[in-house]
Chain A
Amino acid sequence: MSIRFGLLALLESGPRYGSQLRVEFESRTGATWPLNIGQVYTTLGRLERDGLIVPEGGGDAKQQLYAITEAGQAELGDWYARPVDRTQPSRDELAIKLAMAVGAPGVDIRAIIQAQRRHTLKAMQDYTRLKARALAGGTDSRDDIAWLLVLEQLIFSAEAESRWLDHCETRLVRLAEGRPQPQRSASSQQTPGIPAASPAKSRGGVS
């Protein structure tokens, strides 16, 4: 969906070849979501089929200029005006993993959380490096600003995940502390983050 509208948005500035669209899409988003040329031509074919763009001039698809139609501009306007849907979230592997790990025998959920926290923070460190570099290089062009916004979206998303992981750990530790300790581990440290009973209730705890 985002490729379809991304290409329409680029065509609003004027007719372009497929190869140009690919380069400009990646330039605007810092190649964060690389496109292959096959995806570009497939999407252009669908946009043409739906009457949102028209080919200009002759030749095969690779040498074809495409221009946005009035219907395409209206569709693009609707896209800008419509909020991105968040009520049907895509499956999140991490949320599923933690939901499965709650109460699973032999699984140290705190270790899972820490491994993910390290990985997420590492990604944030890398994005922050790129951001500092982008800021130092100036934000004069539209591509520079667009790239900065994409980088900051990645940083804020990773930060949200990191905060959620902190929250999960705190909640699991509190839940575990509130439960009676199994006799065999009464003299040793509890296994953190693994509630002893009621997996249904525990699953609720990390949602």
Chain B
Amino acid sequence: MTRSPAPGTPVLELRDVTRVHGSGVAVVHALRGVGLKVFAGEFVAVMGPSGSGKSTLLTLAGGLDAATRGSVLVEGEDLGALGRAALAKVRRGRVGYVFQDYNLIPALTAAENIALPRELDGTSARVARREAQAALAEIGLSELTDRFPDEMSGGQQQRVAIARALVGDRRLVLADEPTGALDSETGEAVLALLRKRCDEGAAVVLVTHESRYAAWADRVVFLRDGTIVDESVSHSAESLLTDGSHR
């Protein structure tokens, strides 16, 4: 049973999070005391040079790794305080993860890939398939329902992976360089999909090194050496249109 978070609770919160790998002379501080809040309907991009801690931040936010110090909360729930089974349930039910290399299961069709996490969470196979078909229809890829990953282009696979990340009641979507292997136009279609989900109420965190894709976000945070050093917040389109400088 999922408890409802208090109103105003961030969907994702990192409180003073530090992640250290190794020890002694080989110690690496991947993140150093990072604080970040992402609210429902907010799209945040994380940028920074290689080794700045971008992917570490995302794996911690998704419960795929644990902080050395500090807390990671999803809808107010401290992931560090959960047992393995409870953590896996949060990951399957509330967090959608999009990877650069799609991570679709080769032996399953598009619909089966999307339905799998729902079935693992106790949804009947029939309902899960119906949800998967609806998710594919929503992104205009119904014709891929029964195709296997090796029968799809990279862009199609990534959009199926996004459908998998969005199906059900996922309120936090984490995307790690989801446009990495895609051409410009397909990459843009992927971003438009994430933007749409965000406008419908999900919180989205995108890690990217490409500013053109980061520009789809409401807020861009810059990481350097494991620390947030800066951020950029966009205007609303309405304010840009009314200031007289654009049509």
Tell me the B residues contacting A by CB distance below 8 Å. Answer: 47, 49, 192, 195, 210-212, 214-218, 220, 222, 229-237, 240-241, 244-247
Residues of the A chain whose Cβ atoms lie less than 8 Å from the Cβ of B233: 122, 125
A126 contacts B247, C-beta separation under 8 Å: no
B214 contacts A130, C-beta separation under 8 Å: no
A127 contacts B215, C-beta separation under 8 Å: yes
Tell me the A residues contacting B by CB distance below 8 Å. Answer: 26-27, 30-32, 34, 114, 117-122, 124-130, 132-133, 135, 147, 155-156, 158-159, 162-163, 166, 169-170
A166 and chain B: residue at smallest CB distance: B49
Q: Which 3 A-B pairs have the closest CB atoms?
A: A125-B234, A124-B215, A162-B211
A114 contact from B217, B230, B244, Cβ within 8 A: B230
B237 contacts A129, C-beta separation under 8 Å: yes
Smallest CB separation, B116 vs chain A (Å)? 32
Smallest CB separation, B41 vs chain A (Å)? 15
A147 contacts B237, C-beta separation under 8 Å: no
Residues of the B chain whose Cβ atoms lie less than 8 Å from the Cβ of A120: 211
Residues of the A chain whose Cβ atoms lie less than 8 Å from the Cβ of B211: 120-121, 124, 158-159, 162-163
In the bound complex, CA of A32 to CA of B215 (Å) = 19
A34 contact from B220, B230, B245, Cβ within 8 A: B245
Q: Do A132 and B246 contact each other (CB < 8 Å), given the known contacts A118-B222, A118-B230, A121-B211?
A: no
Residues of the A chain whose Cβ atoms lie less than 8 Å from the Cβ of B246: 30-32, 130
B229 and chain A: residue at smallest CB distance: A114
B245 contacts A114, C-beta separation under 8 Å: no
A31 contacts B247, C-beta separation under 8 Å: yes
A125 contacts B232, C-beta separation under 8 Å: yes
A125-B215, A130-B237 known; 19 new pairs, CB 8 Å cut-off, are A27-B247, A31-B246, A32-B246, A117-B222, A117-B230, A118-B222, A121-B214, A122-B234, A124-B212, A124-B215, A125-B217, A126-B234, A128-B216, A129-B236, A130-B240, A132-B237, A156-B212, A159-B212, A169-B49
A135 and chain B: residue at smallest CB distance: B192
In the bound complex, CA of A166 to CA of B211 (Å) = 10
Smallest CB separation, B205 vs chain A (Å)? 16
In the bound complex, CA of A114 to CA of B230 (Å) = 8
A32 and chain B: residue at smallest CB distance: B246
In the bound complex, CA of A159 to CA of B187 (Å) = 15
A-B contact pairs, 19 of them (CB 8 A): A31-B245, A114-B230, A118-B222, A118-B230, A118-B232, A121-B214, A122-B232, A124-B211, A124-B214, A125-B216, A125-B217, A126-B234, A126-B235, A126-B240, A128-B216, A129-B235, A130-B237, A155-B212, A163-B211
A128 contacts B49, C-beta separation under 8 Å: no
In the bound complex, CA of A162 to CA of B234 (Å) = 16
Residues of the B chain whose Cβ atoms lie less than 8 Å from the Cβ of A34: 245
A165 and chain B: residue at smallest CB distance: B211
Residues of the A chain whose Cβ atoms lie less than 8 Å from the Cβ of B232: 118-119, 121-122, 125
Residues of the B chain whose Cβ atoms lie less than 8 Å from the Cβ of A117: 222, 230
Q: Do A128 and B222 contact each other (CB < 8 Å), given the known contacts A31-B245, A122-B232, A166-B49?
A: no
Smallest CB separation, A157 vs chain B (Å)? 11
A143 and chain B: residue at smallest CB distance: B247
Residues of the A chain whose Cβ atoms lie less than 8 Å from the Cβ of B222: 114, 117-118
B215 contacts A132, C-beta separation under 8 Å: no
Smallest CB separation, A62 vs chain B (Å)? 23
In the bound complex, CA of A34 to CA of B214 (Å) = 28
In the bound complex, CA of A34 to CA of B245 (Å) = 8
Residues of the A chain whose Cβ atoms lie less than 8 Å from the Cβ of B214: 121, 124
In the bound complex, CA of A147 to CA of B192 (Å) = 19
A130 contacts B215, C-beta separation under 8 Å: no
Residues of the B chain whose Cβ atoms lie less than 8 Å from the Cβ of A129: 234-237, 240
B247 contacts A155, C-beta separation under 8 Å: no
Interface centre among B47, B49, B211, B214 (most CB of A within 10 A): B211
Smallest CB separation, B84 vs chain A (Å)? 39
B49 contacts A170, C-beta separation under 8 Å: yes
B225 and chain A: residue at smallest CB distance: A189
